[in-house]
Every structure is written in structure tokens, then in C-alpha cells.
Amino acid sequence: MSIKIGIVFAGQGAQYSGMGKDLYEAYPEAKKIFDMAGEQVKEWCFEGDEETLKQTHVTQPTIYTTTMAAYEALMARIKEEGLADKLEITALAGFSLGEYSALTAAGAIDDIAKGIEIVTRRGTLMQEAGMDEEGNNKGGMAAGLGDRQAVLEAVEEAREDGILEAVNFNSPSQTVVAGDKAAIKRFRRAAREKKIKAIPLGVSTAFHSPMMIPAAEKLKDVLTEAGLKTPEMKVYANVTADDMMKDFNGGDAGAYLADILSKQAMSPVHWDDIIKRFHGDGVKAIIEVGPGKTLTGLTKKTCPDIEALNVENAETLENTVEELKKLI
């Protein structure tokens, strides 16, 4: 009898200097992907400073590359340890940018080099959409920690004539808000009055908000040209928290996916509902792949009875393999 697991992929904000370096040194599968990505991406991952890595056109290809390197190394180790036939991956999911890693693992993006090109262009388009005419960032994001309804009320009170939306429903006690800088400032003030802790996030603009509409329109063309394919595994979509292909009635899978992924850039991420989907699948463990362990923490908050594991470096990869052996 096999053990059901889910795999989730890290999103933007998880980046840090040195990410992926020991994977590159320890696993030939990871080295191959970093070498494919090129010297610039390797330099950003292994040596980039915080300010450089925060730039969206840098963040997206570096996180994607590190994540896919970690995933390929993990799959190789699972096979080496004879665990592949004992584990059933019920579904994949990725947080925002991580959705592209999930689709690559599922075969919808059929080439990692293609994936790097897509997310690089996505990062550039989203960065441009978040800048004013002088080239300054015009938006931001903040995490509201506490009662969701109170966060949503603070958003309504603070929006006024600006852009302000709840965009990442991360866990029952964490809701991320995005908007223009003035609206974010008003939100933080309104949240404080409601005893909600509002923490500014280290991102360059207001992702998953209406500010991203211009990027989404251009991204759709990029994705259409990429020739995406029907996923070979189930992928839970950010925008619906359901099987991404649920409403696909045949025809052009690439056009269907391009539409969903372009909408994703300007729409909320229903992450806690995705974790509940995995719970409904009966998974025993969810493995977060990629830099950081943000999603691991969110899994514990949303469904504490699921084993939450992560793979971001050689140590956590080997620990995860050992934990999977125990589950089996």
C-alpha cells in the first residue's frame, strides 16, 4: 500500500543569498539545472545580495531554478532509496510563481529552459506593471496576522480611491493585502486599530492585485507562444483551489492554461483552501520544495495533522527522505 503525499513549490519572497548552492555541489541533477540556467542566474542565487534578489526580474528565475533543482534532486533520491513505488503523489501546487514549478513537474511546461524563459519574462512584466513613469515602485504588500474578517474590514475601510485588495489567503490567521503605497499605509493604520498585526513584505510591488492587469494581458501572449501541454499530474490552481484542468473540455490545452495563468498574476491566491484540498485527498505529508519554508509553516497552521516537510538544501532533502521512510 502506498502513502499519499502532496508536493508544493515555493513562491516569491522566499529568496535568499546562497540558495541552491549546496544542492549544486551535492547532486548532479541539481547541477545540471543550474548550469542550464546560466552563469548570471547562478551568480544571483549563490552570491546575490538582498536588494538584487528582491527585484522581480531577478527573483522569479532564481527561485524557479533553485526550486526545480531541488525537485529533480529529491526525485532522484526517492528513486535511489526505492521509495518511488511506495509513495503516491496525489497532486502538486505552487504558491504564485511556484505554480510554474508545479506545472513543470507535471509536464505542462515540458522543458526547464522554457520555464526559465517564461518566468523571466513574467518577472519583467510584473515589475514594469508595478512602476510609475519615473521608474519607482508604486505598490507594496503587507501580511495581516489575525482574524480574517477583521483584515477584510480594514481593507474596505482603507481602500478609498486607491488600489487595495486581500490577495493571498495563506492560513486562517494570515491574509496578505496588496495595493498602492498610500493605501497600504492606510491599511496598516486601520489594522492597528483592529488589533491586527500588519507586517510589510519584502516585495517590490502589489502582486495579485488589479495593479497587475497590464502585466497579465501581456503575459497571456507569452504563455500562448510557449505551447503549454496538458499536465500529467493533478495541479491545484491558485485562482480556484481546485484541479486546474477541471473545466477543460478538450481542444487547445495551451490556450486554456495561458488564460488561467495570466489571470493568476492579477487574482488572489487561495492557499489555505489548497492545503485543505490535500487534506481531503488523505495525504500524510506535504513536501515544500524550494527556498525557505514559508509553505511548511502555513501547512502546520492550516492542517496541523499533516506532516509538513521541506526541501531547500542538502540537509533538508536528506531529512525529508528519512522522514518519508518512517511514514512508509
Catalytic residues, by residue number, are: 96, 208
Contact between residue 198 and residue 187 where contact means Cβ atoms under 8 Å apart: yes
Q: How far apart are CA 68 and CA 154, in angstroms?
A: 38
Q: How far apart are CA 8 and CA 190, in angstroms?
A: 33
- DSSP collapsed to 3 states, 172-237: CCEEEEEEEHHHHHHHHHHHHHCCCEEEECCCCCCCCCHHHHHHHHHHHHHHHHHCCCCCCCCEEC
Q: How far apart are CA 194 and CA 57, in angstroms?
A: 36
Angle at 132 between CA 127 and CA 136, to 5 degrees: 70
Give the Cβ contact number of residue 266 at 10 Å. 24
Contact between residue 46 and residue 21 where contact means Cβ atoms under 8 Å apart: yes
Contact between residue 178 and residue 165 where contact means Cβ atoms under 8 Å apart: yes
Angle at 322 between CA 316 and CA 98, to 5 degrees: 45
CA 305 centroid distance within chain: 22
Question: Which residues 6+ apart lie within 8 Å of 149 measured at CB?
Answer: none
Helix (H) or strand (E) holding 70: helix 56-80
Q: How far apart are CA 18 and CA 30, in angstroms?
A: 14
- Residue 155 phi/psi, 5-degree rounding, is -60, -45
Amino acid code (one letter) for 7 = I
